[in-house]
Amino acid sequence: MLKGFYTIWLLPFIMILILGCVQTKNPNIERGSDYNFREGYPDVRISALGYLNIRDEAVIEVTTDIGYGSLIFRNTGGKDLAVIELAIRIANMDTGETENILREFQIESEVRPFLLHQQMFTFTEEVVVEPGRFTVLVSVKDTATGREIIRQTDAYIPDPDRPENNLTAIRMSGMNLDLINPSFIPITTYDVTASNDSLRFEFQVTNHDTENPLTIISRLLYFPADLNPALPMSANNLIPNTLPYKGIDYRSRRIVDETTRILDQPGSVLIEFKYLLPERGNYRFEVRTVTLDGNELFKARDFAIRSENYPTLMTPHELAEPLIYLMNGREHEQLMKISDPDSLKEEMDRFWLSHLGSIRDARDVINLFYSRVEQANMQFTNFKEGWKTDRGMIYILYGPPWYIEARRNTLIWSYTHNIGDPQRNFQFNRHRAPNEFFPFNHYLLHRRTEFHALEHRQRQIWLTGTVIHRSL
């Protein structure tokens, strides 16, 4: 069983930790920043942390992650440089004050030219504020293209002078022991890569009533979810109430770890939990405080464990998985039985060369295939990797649609100007809209038996190299 351990400090001063969430339907359950990736624009993820420092000053700490792979690097003085303009705007929603906490500055970052999307440039800025509710806006502009992305999140710092109990939001951090100076770094997204060796969760509890002790219940939960690749286009449509249809089942959670503590002293405690990285899947770390008279506070941080290099695929096993969209089921099953990485790589090379003939043609097709896999991860990830979703499968096989028709819970991807052509239009249905209990966009392809020939033809377009010159 995965075991966690926690540390508690009684504080002579109040230190309030709040981790803002970029997109949330439930203010008590945080998921971190979504990718919200737009091709050609900076890949930006943010979090906002509010606390009172050692001098009892209220501080908003803004962490910004920027993907190296989304920036344009130019050689300047023999160095490959990306020039970024980053501006932070923090608005107090209680007082309306904003001008005194607006920051603008420019960052020059020396990096290698072909770094991958999972490698991040991280910047942290601290701004002294008054306690209250805040909206945080971060804009990042790549000066090489002039393109700019703006991300928004919230933060809240309770007034320590108010005589009320308080439970802060949960701060989630990860540590990678392979780094030169490993330390816990805030995690700004729902997705946590397996490059982290351990996770840390921090929150603070305040009890102002000495005669009404608090019971603090902390739990790490695992949620069953469909983690399989998309079914063939010609398969039967999914049956309601099955796990692939629902996507993720929050009602069938499994308790990985649970701790209960009584806080019977006045004041605040900062509580820290550390866990070795759990296995792949979807999780929630939640905290609940209950008083003797039944008053309850609740906070949670949802997250998913992904592969080490996510959203990029690098290991032979990672590279072999998406080939299910170009192989028949039995062929792919035999491929995935190969456990030795070198042997698996040799078999994949044999697969590509046996169909494409030349190394040059194989290289072009392979590069296109895995660039689409990575793009699918960045655009369609929900409770499972983007390439495993139905939209991810169609995107990989056919590329980006010519245009998209969006209705309330339906998307139609068109690869033609003829909306009536059944072989060049794909319909995706969302059986429930995102809400506070289900925050994901879970679109399912409307499958049809006549797609069998279409799917076979598209595989041949890939395996003959024709895909380099056409998309459908």
Domains of the chain (ranges, CATH numbers): 4-305 (2.60.40.10), 316-468 (no CATH)
Return the pLDDT at 371: 93
Q: What are phi and psi of 302, to 5 degrees?
A: -90, 150
- Classify residue 224 by its DSSP letter: -
Is residue 69 a contact partner of residue 115, using CB atoms and an 8 Å limit?
Answer: yes
Tell me the average pLDDT across 337-343. 96
**pLDDT at position 4, please?**
54
> Which uninterrupted H or E stretch holds 132?
strand 132-142
CA 260 to CA 262: how far, in whole Å? 7
- How many CB atoms within 10 Å of residue 238? 18
Alpha-carbon span 389 to 412, nearest angstrom: 15
- Output 115 or 120, whichever has higher pLDDT: 120
| Cα–Cα distance, 201 to 275 (Å, whole number) | 9
The candidate with the shortest Cα–Cα distance to 34, out of 68, 72, 65, 70, is 65
Count of residues in the chain: 472
What is the Cα 341 distance to its own chain's centre?
27
- Cα separation, 265 vs 213, whole angstroms: 7
User: Per-residue confidence at 324, pLDDT binned at 50, 70, 90?
Assistant: very high
Contact present, 5 and 145 (Cβ < 8 Å): no
DSSP line for 104-116: EEEEEEE--TT--
Residue corresponding to tokens 């799917």: 455
Average pLDDT, the chain: 84
Round to whole Å and give the CA distance between 50 and 43.
24
- 192-227 per-position pLDDT tens digit: 999 999 999 998 888 877 778 889 999 999 999 999
> Which alpha helices (H) appear in 128-181, and where do they start and end?
none
pLDDT of 153 reads: 85
| pLDDT band, very low/low/confident/very high, at 426 (cuts 50, 70, 90) | very high
Three-state DSSP state, 127: strand
Q: Are 254 and 232 in contact (CB under 8 A)?
A: no
Contact assessment for residue 92 and residue 132, using Cβ atoms and an 8 Å cutoff: yes
Is the pLDDT assigned to residue 54 strictly greater than 90? no
User: Comparing C-alpha atoms, which of 439, 409, 441, 440 is closest to residue 427?
Assistant: 409
- Residues 165-199 pLDDT 10s: 888 778 899 998 877 788 898 888 899 999 999 99
R_g of the chain computed on alpha carbons: 24
pLDDT of residue 143: 87
The CA distance from 374 to 387, in Å, is: 8
| Beta-bridge partner residues of 88 | 103, 138
- Can you tell me the distance from the alpha carbon of 165 to that of 17, in angstroms, rounded to the nearest whole number? 15
Write out pLDDT tens, residues 367-425: 999 999 999 998 899 999 999 999 999 999 999 999 999 988 999 999 987 777 777 89
Report whether pLDDT(240) > 90. Answer: yes
Using pLDDT thresholds of 50, 70 and 90, give the confidence band for residue 163.
low
More confident residue, 1 or 335: 335
Cα separation, 322 vs 325, whole angstroms = 6
Quickly count helices (H) and strands (E) in the chain.
7, 25
- Higher pLDDT residue, 178 or 316? 316
pLDDT higher than 50, residue 14:
no
pLDDT > 90? residue 355: yes
Which of 66, 152, 138, 153 has the alpha carbon at shortest distance from 102? Answer: 138
pLDDT at 457 over 80: yes
Q: Which of 35-44, 58-67, 208-217 has the lowest mean pLDDT?
A: 35-44
Are the C-beta atoms of 457 and 466 separated by less than 8 Å? Answer: no
Give the confidence band of 17 by pLDDT, cuts at 50, 70, 90.
very low
Considering only residues 75 and 97, tell me which one the structure prediction assigns the higher pLDDT: 97
CA 256/CA 199 separation, integer angstroms: 14
Residue 59 · residue 51 · CB < 8 Å: yes
Of the pLDDT bands very low, low, confident and very high (cuts 50, 70, 90), residue 472 is low
